[in-house]
Amino acid sequence: MITEPVPETLATATATATATAPAPAPASFVLRVGAHLVDVVLPVFVLLVLVGGLARTRHPLAAFGILVLGSLALLAFAVWNIGFRQGSCGQSLGKRAVGIRLVGATTGRPVGFRCAVVRQIAHLLDALPLHLGYLWPLWDEQRQTFADKVCATLVVRTGADRPFDGA
């Protein structure tokens, strides 16, 4: 009996290609800091400049109102950027700007809204021992913070070469 070879399906081809593809390189400390600056420092700086300008007016109540509304807008931005964007596609605006992505350590896929938010809260662990957890990627083999280890996540390069990437 002669049997014909079964044509390879797209799912089989994709699984084979994924299994043989090299794992993405962990993101450098410099890229992680760059993403953090875009995600956190820049929006807070904009808010403070706005409030600072309003505080010089004769309407301190207006400045307070702008501070409250700005803080709520900042919170909404953080939930969208860190929870939704980073959870669904692996990239916050800052991570996208510097070419890195958050993925599950075992799956290599985006982690979802809940895990992204829990990871952000888990960054409190990075701050507890004199902010040592934030520096941990400097010597960790997988360049993980304490929060990454607890949540089983990795921050990896997207594959695009960046001229300002640090070691």
Rounded CA-CA distance 72/61 in Å is 17
Using pLDDT thresholds of 50, 70 and 90, give the confidence band for residue 104.
very high
**Does the pLDDT at position 9 exceed 50?**
no
Residue in 42, 28, 17 with CA at minimum distance from that of residue 161: 28
**Does the pLDDT at position 143 exceed 70?**
yes
pLDDT at 83: 95
Quick one: tokens of 70? 């700005």
SS3 100: strand
Average pLDDT over residues 2-20: 49
pLDDT at 160: 56
pLDDT at 1: 54
The 10s digit of each residue's pLDDT in 125-142 is 999 888 999 999 999 999
The 10s digit of each residue's pLDDT in 25-35 is 999 999 999 99
**Is there a contact between 167 and 28 (Cβ–Cβ < 8 Å)?**
yes
* Between 122 and 58, residue with greater pLDDT: 122
pLDDT at 66: 78
CA distances from 45 to 39, 40, 49, 142, 150 (A): 11, 9, 6, 31, 30
Domain boundaries, the chain: 25-157
**Does the pLDDT at position 163 exceed 50?**
no
The 10s digit of each residue's pLDDT in 51-94 is 777 767 777 787 778 778 888 988 999 999 999 999 999 999 99
